[in-house]
Structure 1
Amino acid sequence: MNRGTVKFFNESKGYGFIKDDASGKEYFVHVTGLVDRVRENEEVTFDIEDGKKGQNAVNVRRA
């Protein structure tokens, strides 16, 4: 389980990006990968899964 911060999330379009605290990498997150509703600058935990265009954050929960 990774920890990070929601850098950007557009609720109307259903996607955003999460910045990993440990690596500094940014991961794409789609609304289907959310467990809890998230907002920008919120601390979250997440798993990483390979998607069509790279790695995605999934099982995203508020920390």
Structure 2
Amino acid sequence: MPKGKVRLFKEDKGYGFIGPDSGGEDLFFHVSSLSPGVTLKQGDRVSYETAVDHRTGRGRAEKVVID
């Protein structure tokens, strides 16, 4: 699983962005990709799976877990 760092998490809005360790564009994630009860904060180290957002054609993170 790829790893990265939470760059931004807007809990009140239900989304955030992860900066991949491998570099490149930050990945969007939605709170629905987190396990129930998990909250993140800026700077948390995470692992995730990648997928393509069919609406935007950009990468997004799914199944996000804290490392």
Paired residue secondary structure (1:37): coil
Give the number of the structure whose alpha-carbon radius of gyration is greater.
2
Higher share in strand:
1
Unaligned runs of 5+ in 1: none
Runs of 4+ in 1 over 3 A off after TM superposition: none
Provide the C-alpha distance between the structure 1 equivalents of 2:40 and 2:23, rounded to a whole number of angstroms. 21
What fraction of aligned residue pairs are identical, expressed as a percent?
32
Alignment: residue pair count: 63
Residue 43 of structure 2 corresponds to 41
Q: So what's the TM-score if we normalise by structure 1?
A: 0.90
1:4: Cα distance to partner? 0.2
Unaligned runs of 5+ in 2: none
RMSD: 1.1
